[in-house]
Amino acid sequence: MKHVAVIVMFLASCIAMNAQQVTVTGKVIDQDGAGLAGATVYAVEISVGATADMDGNYQLTVPAGNLLIEASYVGFSPSSKNVEVSEGVTVDFTLSQGQALEEVVVYSGSKKAEKLTNSTATVITIGAREIERYAGNPAELLARKKGVDYFRAGIAAPAFNIRGFNSNFNSKNLQVVDNRISSLIATGLPMGPLTTTIKEDIEQVELILGPNATLYGPNAHNGLINTITKDPRRHQGLTVAGNIGVNGDGNAYYSGRLRYAKKFNDKWAFKATGEYTKATEFIYADSVYIDRKAADGSPGADGVKEAYRELELDNDVEFFKTEASAYFTPKAGTDLIATYGHSNSTYLSPTNVGRNQIIDWRINVFQLRFNTKNFFAQTYLTTSKTDDTYSIDDRTKRYYAGIDAGLSPEEAAGEYSYETGARFKDDSKRWNAEVQYNNTFFESLELITGLQYQKDMANSLGTYLLDQNEDDSIDVSQIGGYLHLNYDFGSGFKALAAARVDNHDIYGTNFIPKLGLSKELEKGSFRLTYGQGIAAPTILNMYGNLFSGLILGNAEGFTLADGSKIDPQDVEKVTTYEIGYRGTLAENLYTDVNAYYNVNKDFLSPVTVIGVATERGDTPIEEVQAGYAGLNGLVATYINFGEVNTYGADLSLTYSISPEWSMTANYSYFDYSFDEDNSDNDFNNDGEVNFLDFLVNAPKNKGGLGLNYYGSRFFGSIFGRAVQQYNYFSSFQIASETIPGMTYRGVPIVEDAPSGDSYNYGPLGGFVTFDLNIGYKVSDKVTISLAATNLFNNELREFTAAPPTKGLYVLETKIHLD
């Protein structure tokens, strides 16, 4: 596949070299007709730009054909136009002061740009100005968007979910950075804080709600977040940023970052970034519940599990990140981009079975991209490595088992405490390659087609997967091809017909269709979409081997002691129907509203006990389960089950009070239904179908209200977020109100009480919180700002196996030198 990518890149380069180059001219003015000196005019798809002269005139040399050209100027709303470019074409722009309401450009998985009002998907964007003028972690800005379940699992682990079915180990939301999949190889979890990208290099973030699998592939299931970094040819100079802060417990927070970008000439440009962040997590020690036994094997405390603090808890948080990219432009509109990224991360991460102590987890990415007007090709390698990460819960339980067996505290806390599989090592790799072709025919039919290849090579060095050693990686490949057809019927009507076919080593062939219809009006557009998505089990789901074989992957199925069979796990499927409107309701009032209905089938379950197994596939269980002597074949694994319907609506409003002032509001509603008479829905096999089978884990209502000011010097925003209280269940983790007569994992559901292996502190959500950001542009080169997350330092229950989140107050100084 790598050879295919190279060949396509060479052919595309030859075609691009021979493409006809033409000159576009025009003028950029304000509403009074005055030329805007220094305005930027940019051909979005091919990364070619020019700067207007003192009178607002510009010249732009680009390949002939259909292009999206954007004009922008500081303090004005950008404007974009689709233009059929030919020699002598003139394209003028008139910009208005204030915030962009309609003319927003989105960079989609098609590698082509489009106006947001033209998209058939529900897409939310976070722009460069919003990111640059926010002193805190840019992930916090996701909390201000509709349709997003945002939660803070501590200082280091902000996360999000879309449209339900959240868990402490959620791989259903895809993360993409500069067209590369940004997820861990073995677990499929989004990299999140492990990413190599820094805040100052982010150009735009787009959040796509619902499945978008036809372009992004399996696991663009509930939604995805796509980050686009800055082009060094548009964003040059040296930026140095530093943060100092304190959290609500009085612990310090420090961060230093820099970005350098330089366009050397018309052919070469370069950028490099770096970050070092150090902090201390919120004060919190999770309870580990242990059935203590005396040295003679007799049960202690009448067999009741006792609560103990996490062993040797380390609240230190530390991140180091760096990236570098070289841009080579042999001819206008043709780019070859090489990128290297590295991160090293230490922090606490919540899971379904307590917290993991992440220690020196290293990520490396090597990416090569080729882009010209009609072709895109890339190949990239992602590596993941850690030597000492471990499960705090399992290590704590093993420690006290050693104490009960008569070991000294030093002996019990040493290598003995890791012997049940508490330590996780990782030395995994993933190769990806992609080619894409797009073109417009007959002036109204746009074709996008491509091929994607992925090979996962997961290696846990025999710690948490069913591999054996450093030479025994678990290799899984998949290849997918897609076709998108967009047709412009005229009169504002456009249609999308798309399909994708994926072939997976384990799960065979899957077909994914998508249809869309949009109607562009004078002030906005309606959209109607039908789409499907799949979530393929991760390598951990297929080949996991945790805690001496108590948890085993289910790629081959199981035979139980009573002779019954557990089928191998298959892909999960979702079908979505969605309608929406995006546009202007009244003067200076912009809205984006959508409603959706999902049919979810064959869920990928959380880890669940299936009983005593005699075989995994055709292999006797005693040959698979390292702890067979103690477990006697008792297995927990992952299965498919059931069908549930989810539905909801999302609304956002933006009102521009003046060029400087604006208000934003959003509201989201979510609910679900299921067939109580369908026995396939009885996941926990208790003879009754109810909400405990589906574990939807989402608030029914949530919303936010914000006020923003962007002046020539001062800027600021205050945002209030309200989340309705909701019950949450994720494997061993529980956060629920008391429900009389009901049990979870065999234990009565009682608030503020122990529940099996964890403690039930009560429901999540049920709060209103405020975030504040203010700043001052001291000069064209220096900006000072302050971000207060959870302004009033309330204790918020946002996630399980994580501390109640309190305030975080950060002062940022940013210096930019041209």
Q: Supply the CATH number for residue 475's domain.
A: 2.40.170.20
Q: With beta carbons less than 8 A apart as the criterion, state whether 582 and 525 touch.
A: yes
Across the chain, what does the average pLDDT equal?
Answer: 88
Give the separation between CA 446 and CA 281, rounded to whole angstroms.
Answer: 50
Question: Residue 646: pLDDT band by 50, 70, 90 thresholds?
Answer: very high
The pLDDT tens digits of the residues spanning 304-359 come to: 688 899 999 999 999 999 999 999 999 878 899 999 999 999 999 999 889 999 99
> What does the pLDDT read at residue 3?
43
652: in domain? yes
How much is the pLDDT for 302?
47
Name the domain boundary from 62, 82, 97.
97
Residue 69 sits in the same domain as residue 155? no
Q: What pLDDT is recorded for position 116? A: 66
Q: What count of residues does the chain have?
A: 818
Spatial distance between the Cα atoms of 18 and 396, rounded to a whole number of angstroms:
66
Count CB neighbours of 147 within 10 A.
26
Conformation bin of residue 257: beta by default, left when phi > 0, alpha when psi is -120 to 50: beta
Average pLDDT (103-109) is: 56
In this structure, are 411 and 454 located in the same domain?
A: yes
Cα(73)–Cα(38) distance, integer angstroms: 8
Answer whether residue 154 is part of any domain: yes
What pLDDT does residue 112 have? 65
Question: Going along 153-220, which residue ranges are E strands?
Answer: 158-162, 173-177, 180-181, 202-209
Q: How far apart are CA 125 and CA 645, in angstroms?
A: 27
Span 689-739, pLDDT tens digits: 888 888 889 999 999 999 999 888 999 999 999 999 999 998 889 999 999
Percent of the chain with pLDDT over 70: 93
Q: What percent of the chain has pLDDT over 90?
A: 61
**Residues 555-564: tens digit of each pLDDT:** 999 999 999 9
Question: Which residue in the block uniquely carries the two structure tokens 């008139």?
Answer: 94
362 and 474 housed in the same domain = yes
pLDDT (mean) for 481-497: 93
For residues 134 and 220, membership in a common domain is answered with: yes
Q: Band of the pLDDT at 6, cuts 50, 70, 90?
A: very low
Count CB neighbours of 317 within 10 A: 22
Q: Which domain holds residue 86?
A: 2-97
Give the residue among 555, 585, 586 at the shortest CA–CA distance from 568: 555
- The verdict on 59 and 145 lying in the same domain is no
Note the pLDDT of residue 295.
47
pLDDT value for 115: 65
Alpha-carbon distance of 226 to 111, in angstroms, equals 12
d(CA 728, CA 740): 16
Which has the closest alpha carbon to 56: 31, 81, 80? 31
- The CA distance from 768 to 67, in Å, is 45
450 pLDDT tier (thresholds 50, 70, 90): very high
Alpha-helix residue ranges (DSSP H) falling in 116-259 = 128-132, 213-216
Would the pTM count as exceeding 0.85? Answer: yes
**How far is Cα 464 from Cα 604, in angstroms, rounded to an integer?**
19
Sheet of strand 40-43: strand arrangement: 48-51, 40-43, 65-72, 79-85
CA distance 115 to 118: 5
How far is Cα 467 from Cα 545, in angstroms, rounded to an integer?
Answer: 9
Using the 3D structure, point to which of 97, 132, 162 is the last residue of a domain: 97
Predicted pLDDT of residue 5: 47
250: left (phi over 0), alpha (psi -120 to 50) or beta: left
Distances from the Cα of 799 to the Cαs of 149, 152, 467, 556, in angstroms?
11, 7, 32, 33
Token duo for residue 426: 């990782």
Question: Which range is least confidently modeled, 6-20, 201-215, 241-255, 762-776?
Answer: 6-20
Residues 22 and 161 in one domain: no
Residues 70 and 162 in one domain: no
In a domain, 92, yes or no: yes
Give the residue-averaged pLDDT of 439-459.
92
pLDDT band at 158 (very low <50, low <70, confident <90, very high): confident
Is residue 717 exposed (0-12), middle (13-18) or buried (19+ Cβ within 10 Å)? buried
Residue 751: what residue type? E
Question: Average pLDDT for residues 202-229, to the nearest whole number?
Answer: 85
Are residues 6 and 133 located together in one domain of the fold?
Answer: no
* Most confident listed range (203-207, 504-508, 743-747): 504-508
Distance, CA of 53 to CA of 249 (rounded, Å): 53
Whole-angstrom distance, CA of residue 581 vs CA of residue 589: 13
The answer on 84 and 127 residing in a single domain is: no
Q: Give, as one character, the DSSP assignment of residue 76.
A: B
User: What pLDDT band is residue 75 in, cutting at 50, 70 and 90?
Assistant: low
The verdict on residue 747 lying in a domain is: no
Are 441 and 456 in contact by the 8 Å Cβ rule? The answer is no
359 plus 482 within the same structural domain? yes
Same domain, 610 and 485: yes
C-alpha separations of 676 from 645, 692, 748 in Å: 12, 12, 22
pLDDT of the residue at 278: 97
pLDDT, position 298: 47
The residues with which 308 forms a beta bridge, in sequence order, are 288
**Structure confidence at residue 97 as a pLDDT band (50, 70, 90):** low
E-strand stretches of 264-311 = 268-280, 287-290, 306-309
**Coil, strand, or helix at residue 729?**
strand
User: Which CATH number covers residue 15?
Assistant: 2.60.40.1120
In a domain, 491, yes or no: yes
Q: Given this model, what pLDDT does residue 15 score?
A: 45
Last residue within a domain, chosen from 80, 97, 114: 97
- Residues 81, 70: Cα–Cα separation, whole Å: 6
Is pLDDT at 8 greater than 70 in this prediction? no
Residue 222 has pLDDT above 90, yes or no: no
Residue 149 in domain = yes
Question: Does one domain contain both 265 and 305?
Answer: yes
Residue 67 lies in a domain: yes
Mention every residue, 6+ apart, whose C-beta is less than 8 A from residue 690: 676, 742
Residue 49 predicted with pLDDT over 80: no
Nearest CA among 607, 682, 595 for reference residue 644: 682
Total domains in the chain come to 2
Q: What is the mean pLDDT of residues 140-153?
A: 92
